[in-house]
């Protein structure tokens, strides 16, 4: 048997350099809990503990604790920092209220996506969380393209945990009273055992949940306290990938890259209304034209017939067998018990319900464009709360 002809995306794949891997602050903690460590984004990270399927379903029903300390945590200070960030990000940063966060993207001058990220206004500065595999490149982009009046700090000593699932709020509120009051995409400073925690109600699983920024020296005590709660189990990268795929959320380096724009990627919600009119962000000419005229290709979610997973790299064909797109993520959906996928297709074929053919290793599969996330989002939105 040949292991991993087509491996889990990014996990131990050929694109990973196994030399000089960095260790997470929780490295020993993961190993002690049976975490199977694999190279990912330049770190050794746990792909699973008891098994991807069980961990996935646990998160959908209870609460899962994810170590996402490989991600980059950046601070931006300076006069008119919101205005400066708006030159690189298409979101409305001027209108972002204190303690609120927004999903956004770092764009290249031609409108391609350099990274996707979360941006929070925190008093007089901004706090950004960027992907682990891309953080060094992002830092260089920010340094080169922001005005000298903006100072950027990379919080290298800061760890990041995500607690996700329908029981995340009860479990975290028991430890950090008051966090249950946060609404989706809101954040604040809390304290636990005298230690500062920056907590946002956000995540990347489609579930209600939180992301917790904590000093690296405090993260082990916090992870112990969280998993002492019987509702909480540690969850690896494998389930993180299947959860985000079911939630229809794109993964950078697979579903998003420099050749895709926010409009192609079906992320136009992240382009502020004012900004669509005013422009003035990297790639805005192209992106505004795509908003008006439609992009050539568009990201879609696909339900695949049968049982065999169709993975990244498979082709999308039209009724006549012409190549009209490609699969960028795909796999087995533990919640639905069937294969699902994500990919790009020619825009006329991106309508929900469109029947498409996929080709993987010479074998054909039938698929249909899905209208919504495969598993509905269960974010904690409050009535009347600003998004």
Partner 1 sequence: MSLYFTKEHEWVRVDGDVATVGISNHAQEALGDIVFAEVPEAGRNLSKGDDAAVVESVKAASDVYSPVAGEVIEGNSAIADDPSLINRDPEGEGWFFKLKLADTSELAGLMDEAAYRDWVQTL
Residues in contact with partner 1 by CB under 8 A are 1-8, 11, 47-48, 51-54, 238, 242, 307-309, 311, 331-332, 334
Within 10 angstroms of residue 274's Cβ, the number of other Cβ atoms is: 12
Q: How far is the CB of 205 from partner 1 (least distance, A)?
A: 15
Distance CA 143, CA 141 (A): 5
Distance CA 26, CA 32 (A): 10
If the CB atoms of residues 285 and 336 are measured against partner 1, the closer one turns out to be 336
If the CB atoms of residues 84 and 251 are measured against partner 1, the closer one turns out to be 251
Q: How far is the CB of 3 from partner 1 (least distance, A)?
A: 6
If the CB atoms of residues 14 and 277 are measured against partner 1, the closer one turns out to be 14
Q: How far is the CB of 47 from partner 1 (least distance, A)?
A: 7
Q: How far is the CB of 51 from partner 1 (least distance, A)?
A: 5
If the CB atoms of residues 1 and 32 are measured against partner 1, the closer one turns out to be 1
> At 165, is the secondary structure helix, strand, or coil?
coil
Provide the edge-to-edge strand list for the sheet that holds 113-122.
Answer: 101-107, 113-122, 125-130, 72-77, 151-154
DSSP code string of 18-87: -TT-EE-TTHHHHHHTT-EEEEETTEEEEEESS-HHHHHHHHHHSEEEEE-TTSEEEEEESTTHHHHHHT
If the CB atoms of residues 208 and 241 are measured against partner 1, the closer one turns out to be 241
Distance CA 133, CA 140 (A): 13
Within 10 angstroms of residue 346's Cβ, the number of other Cβ atoms is: 16
Q: How far is the CB of 241 from partner 1 (least distance, A)?
A: 8
If the CB atoms of residues 25 and 238 are measured against partner 1, the closer one turns out to be 238
Q: How far is the CB of 237 from partner 1 (least distance, A)?
A: 9
Task: Please compute Rg for the chain using Cα positions.
Answer: 20
């Amino acid at each position: 048997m040949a292991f991993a002809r087509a491996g889990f995306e990014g996990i131990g794949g050929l694109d990973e350099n196994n030399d000089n891997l960095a260790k997470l602050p929780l490295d020993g903690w993961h190993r002690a809990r049976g975490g199977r460590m694999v190279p990912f984004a330049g770190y050794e990270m746990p792909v699973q503990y008891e098994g991807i399927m069980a961990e996935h379903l646990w998160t959908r029903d209870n609460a899962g604790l994810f170590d996402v300390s490989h991600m980059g945590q950046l601070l931006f200070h300076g006069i008119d920092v919101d205005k400066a960030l708006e030159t690189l990000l298409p979101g409305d940063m001027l209108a972002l209220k204190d303690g609120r966060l927004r999903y956004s993207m770092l764009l290249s001058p031609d409108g391609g996506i350099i990274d996707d990220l979360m941006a929070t206004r925190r008093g007089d500065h901004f706090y950004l969380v960027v992907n682990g595999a891309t953080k060094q490149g992002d830092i260089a982009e920010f340094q080169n393209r922001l005005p000298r009046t903006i100072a950027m700090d990379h919080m290298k000593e800061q760890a990041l945990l995500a607690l996700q699932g329908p029981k995340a709020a009860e479990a975290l509120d028991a430890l950090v009273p008051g966090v249950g009051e946060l609404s989706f995409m809101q954040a604040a400073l809390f304290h636990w055992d005298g230690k500062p925690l920056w907590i946002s109600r956000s995540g990347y699983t489609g579930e209600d949940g939180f992301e917790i920024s904590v000093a690296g020296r405090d993260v082990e005590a916090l992870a112990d306290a969280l998993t002492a709660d019987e509702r909480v189990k540690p969850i690896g990268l494998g389930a993180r990938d299947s959860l985000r795929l079911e939630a229809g959320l794109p993964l950078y380096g697979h579903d998003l890259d420099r050749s895709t724009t926010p409009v192609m990627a079906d992320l136009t919600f992240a382009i502020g209304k004012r900004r669509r009119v005013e422009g003035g962000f990297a790639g805005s000419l192209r992106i505004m034209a795509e908003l008006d005229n439609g992009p050539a290709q568009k990201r879609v979610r696909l339900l695949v017939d049968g049982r065999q997973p169709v993975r990244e790299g498979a082709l999308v064909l039209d009724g006549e067998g012409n190549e009209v797109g490609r699969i960028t993520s795909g796999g087995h959906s533990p919640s639905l018990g069937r294969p699902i996928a994500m990919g790009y297709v020619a825009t006329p074929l991106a309508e929900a319900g469109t029947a498409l053919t996929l080709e993987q290793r010479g074998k054909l599969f039938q698929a249909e464009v899905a209208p919504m996330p495969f598993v509905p989002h269960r974010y904690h939105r409050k009535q009347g709360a600003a998004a």
